[in-house]
Chain A
Amino acid sequence: MTEPVLTVDDLSVDYVAAAGTFHALQGVSFAVLPGQVVGIVGETGCGKSTLAHAIPALLPRPPARIVSGTITYQGIDVTKLPAWKLPSIRGTGIGMIFQEPLNSLNPSFRIYPQLAEAIRIRRIRSRGAAAGRADPGPFDYSRAAPSPGAAESLARPLVPPALVDGARRPAGTGDRPLRAEVLEALRLVRINDPETILNLYPHELSGGMRQRIMIAQALAERPALLIADEPTSALDVTIQAQVLTLMKELIDEIRTSILFISHDLGVIAEIADVVGVMYAGRLVEFGPVADVFERPRHPYTRALLTAAPDHAKTDGPLTAIPGAVPSLARLPSGCAFHPRCALARERCAVGAAPPLQPAGATPSPEAVAHASACWYADEVS
């Protein structure tokens, strides 16, 4: 069996605040295999972003507190790593794309230095022994030819040429190979006019362009694992579709493992191989995308799928899950979903939450088992 890139085992994270202790993550376990795209879905406040930030140890501690569990990346437990060693895990090992493309680029720097910094970090790391990972060398960009269709139309000149005029300091003329790599990184994300982009400030670019540059920056470091924390949520629908198309193409091109966090079932269905469904800080279902979406084994997953807006249906109220998401500070006993669940019985309301159990025997050692955390999983579908 192939070694996973990332193993999260029994991870529990609390936020300690004046209003109480919020159990943001409880006993979350899963693995990401090489080249796999793992999607994580769930409602707002179910712990998705906490999970995304916990993996590269980006959670501000305090208020966050890792109660238990391990995050193993390349044989190293990230939760035990001292702070000064963390930069060697981040970037080159675990790259990250954030939710807010509008604010994720430093407003005071032009695009060139921001991308060059990422590439420089990779070069420095690859010279020293960093996180046990050899530098894969310059990426073979020849395979990343400009893509057809929608992506191309996105990369029209950004601004009238006259506007670019004020700052024609040819960025990075001091280091030709670095400049070339920056340009290639921009071409990889289908930016047709990278020479122009280099000299612009982030505020001169649209949200879609900025997210593209964030993706370029994350990929420029050639991470073994890319964490995308709702990368399309802040964008409007058209741009969302374009960024998604781009990411799908990149997945085929560069075969990096990706942990893709989203609240959008459609996005996950399109992009992920394996999906994990989260509810109130727990992973309630985990399995191959097709299995989970066609034969859900947890009532929450089924309710979520039913509640997804149907574009064909134009009138009548939208389907919703009755009740409200419980506060993470006061979770119900037993299964956290039982107050809202149609299948709930006495057993659901008492004791510990049901564990995440695979359904039957795994078809093959390579395949990911379809697991769910419900006592009555067989009755769901």
Chain B
Amino acid sequence: MGTRPAAESPRPVVPPTSRPSPWRRAGRGARTVYRVLRTNPLSLAGFILVVLLAVAAVVIYVDPGVLPYPALAIFTGPPKSAPTWGHPFGTDELGRDIFSNVLAALPVDLAIGVTISGAALLIGGSLGLLAGYYNRPRSAGAVASTVILRLTDLFLSFPSLILALAFTVALGRGVVQVVVAVLITWWPYYVRLVRGEVLAVKNQPYIYAARAAGVREGRIVLRHVLRNVLEPLVVYFTLDIGTVIVTFSTVAFVTGALPYPTAPPVEWGSMIATYYDVAASLPWTVVFPGLAILVTVLSFSLLGDGLRDLLDPRSRRVIAQTGASVPPPTAGPARDDRPVAPPATGAPP
């Protein structure tokens, strides 16, 4: 634990005229992020991995030429080759380079994970906010709220994977079809999550205080309530990206909605589905796409745990200052304001 010396010189309060440049502010923000994440090496690893994956995905998307061989190109080397230096993940029966294809799938799978989770977050989140906040009995909001919740129950009453498979089969082949099918089964979880959090927050005294101060209802919902709900929501969203990638890959694997060698884009789940038949003789063809899924999901899960600390002002401030994940007794939450002997200078009776 990098506890800083207690006798550090206090920095002067920033005078109201000085305005740090955006760069310096960003630098400070980055340092706070680093300090908080450093206390938990696993979440720091998750953070680094997610950044690396994202950068790699952008590079591959912008310039597919960085791949050792073009995606789906056949006879790039000897067929059925075990991993070698030239083909680190081996080749399949037509000499496709597994390494290049796994990399080519990276931007696709990340984009799918973020898109489905993000759309579910927006759709489910807004519905959950409505259902949670506007539920005063015998109001129009209560009716809307009931409709939203029963609809949510309807979707949640099916096992989501089965439902996603059914929708995929009904909608047909193609990336968009699978994305829509998974999304249909995905948003209800966000309704439940957000509604629960909103119900807990909406009767807090600070919401009443805001109302008493004359803040309008719309602003109370979008600012005072939403800000307090956001923290668990973002954590869940991050963890969810991994889950979505697994589910998407599973759906692609089971339904064959994305026939790998014939219909780009390349996607990990459909790669495994395609090589399933030859898994016994060419194990590397399924092991490496599987590992790619594992690493991606793991990275997001680790990051999600770290975000919990980062987003909570309470733990963030303490960790950023002391480098300790547990608040030391001296940096307790509340300031002690017992009166000390008042300065005797010029205090009129």
Contact = CB atoms under 8 A, between A and B. Distances in A.
A218 B228 contact: no
B343 A204 contact: no
Contact of B313 (A89, A100, A203): A203
A275 to B, nearest CB: 23
A208 B321 CA distance: 24
Looking at chain B's contact residues, is the secondary structure mostly helix, strand, loop, or mixed? loop
Contact of B212 (A98, A173, A195, A206): A98
B256 to A, nearest CB: 46
A58 B211 contact: yes
Interface residues of B, number: 55
A161 to B, nearest CB: 3
B13 A217 contact: no
Nearest to B4: A162
B34 interface: no
Contact of B213 (A99, A149, A221): A221
B1 to A, nearest CB: 16
Contact of B214 (A60, A98, A121, A153): A121
Contacts of A316: none
Interface bin, chain A: 35 or more
A168 interface: yes
Given A58-B211, A167-B317, A108 B13 contact: no
A263 B10 CA distance: 44
A150 B339 contact: yes
Interface string B121-162: 000000000000000111000000000000000000000000
Contact of A108 (B138, B228, B321, B349): B228
Interface in A145-182: 148-150, 152-154, 156, 158-170, 173, 176, 179
Contacts of A203: 313-314, 333-334
B215 interface: yes
26 contacts: A62-B136, A62-B137, A62-B138, A89-B214, A91-B212, A92-B214, A95-B212, A98-B208, A103-B206, A104-B206, A106-B227, A107-B206, A107-B313, A107-B314, A108-B227, A117-B215, A121-B213, A125-B214, A149-B347, A153-B340, A154-B339, A156-B337, A162-B10, A163-B321, A166-B316, A201-B317
Given A148-B347, A218-B213, A158 B205 contact: no
Residue among B28, B32, B230, B342 facing the most chain A CB atoms (10 A cut-off): B342
B213 A90 contact: yes
Interface of A: 56, 58, 60-62, 83, 87-92, 94-96, 98-100, 103-109, 117-118, 121, 125, 148-150, 152-154, 156, 158-170, 173, 176, 179, 195-196, 201, 203-209, 214, 217-218, 221, 238-239, 242
A211 to B, nearest CB: 11
Contact of A117 (B25, B213, B334, B342): B213
A224 to B, nearest CB: 13
